[in-house]
């Protein structure tokens, strides 16, 4: 098994990024190296990467964004992980890295996915719809937003008086559990190809 070179894309606080960094360092995700963290905006996730000596790129959203992103991805990248990344990848990037990009989404896909469904918007929509369960999903990234094959998913019950904030906390706990497992699983599948 050869070490897989991973590029992680972020937009926020980066608690999932931290979980992945820790899992790579501890060997929970074996044979993996995080070679770069790419952010689409200023965010604390980049500080987390820098604290571990990981190369960081911070892009500007808007004009030429997809080209900036393509240019920022090291050519020897084996695998990409979207860890709270809020920009949409264009078809060219999805095609170039087909089967080699995964994303974490804070709901039970295929429900509550698609354009505009991110972060607190998802939790608000889930609560307003009167759902009794939500959860987190790790899936492959394809040109259709949040439509790729599911790798792992875990549910949590919605409590009486649940708020988007309280639900977000519960779902983050699930994410920290399933994300390293899903990455390990997807990397193992990559080895078989």
Of 90, 78, 108, 98, give the one whose Cα is nearest residue 8.
78
> With respect to ligand GAR, which residue has the nearer C-beta, 163 or 191?
163
Report in angstroms the alpha-carbon separations of 162 from 117, 126, 156, 158, 177.
19, 10, 12, 6, 21
105 a catalytic residue: yes
Chosen residue from 7, 8, 9, 12 binding ligand GAR by CB under 6 A: 12
Q: How far is the CB of 40 from ligand GAR (least distance, A)?
A: 12
Q: Count CA atoms within 13 Å of residue 170 on its CB side.
A: 17
Contact between 140 and ligand GAR per CB under 6 A: no
Rule CB under 6 A: which of 63-122 touch ligand GAR? Answer: 83-84, 104-106, 118-119, 122
- Point out which residues pair with 156 in neighbouring strands: 134
Q: How far is the CB of 13 from ligand GAR (least distance, A)?
A: 4
Contact between 14 and ligand GAR per CB under 6 A: yes
In 3-state terms, what secondary structure has residue 135?
strand
> With respect to ligand GAR, which residue has the nearer C-beta, 31 or 154?
154
Are 4 and 78 in contact by the 8 Å Cβ rule? The answer is: yes
Contact between 175 and ligand GAR per CB under 6 A: yes
Enumerate residues 6+ apart whose C-beta is below 8 A from 13.
43, 44, 45, 84
Active-site positions read 105
Q: What does the binding site for ligand GAR look like in residue numbers (CB under 6 A)?
A: 12-16, 45, 83-84, 104-106, 118-119, 122, 171-172, 175
């Amino acid at each position: 098994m050869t070490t897989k070179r991973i590029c992680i894309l972020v937009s926020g606080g980066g608690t999932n990024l931290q979980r992945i960094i820790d899992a790579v360092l501890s060997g929970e995700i074996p044979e993996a190296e995080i070679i770069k963290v790419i952010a689409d905006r200023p965010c604390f996730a980049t500080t987390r990467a820098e604290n571990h000596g990981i190369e960081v790129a911070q892009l500007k959203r808007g004009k030429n964004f997809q080209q900036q992103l393509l240019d920022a991805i090291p050519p020897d990248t084996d695998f990409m992980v979207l860890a709270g990344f809020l920009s949409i990848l264009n078809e060219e990037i999805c095609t170039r890295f087909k089967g080699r990009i995964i994303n974490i989404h804070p709901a039970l896909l295929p429900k509550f996915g698609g354009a505009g469904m991110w972060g607190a918007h998802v939790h608000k929509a889930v609560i307003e719809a009167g759902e009794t369960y939500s959860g987190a999903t790790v899936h492959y990234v394809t040109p259709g937003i949040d439509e790729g094959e599911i790798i792992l998913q875990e549910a949590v019950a919605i409590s009486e008086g649940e708020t988007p904030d309280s639900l977000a906390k519960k779902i983050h706990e699930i994410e920290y559990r399933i994300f390293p497992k899903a990455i390990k699983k997807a990397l193992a599948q990559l080895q078989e190809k």
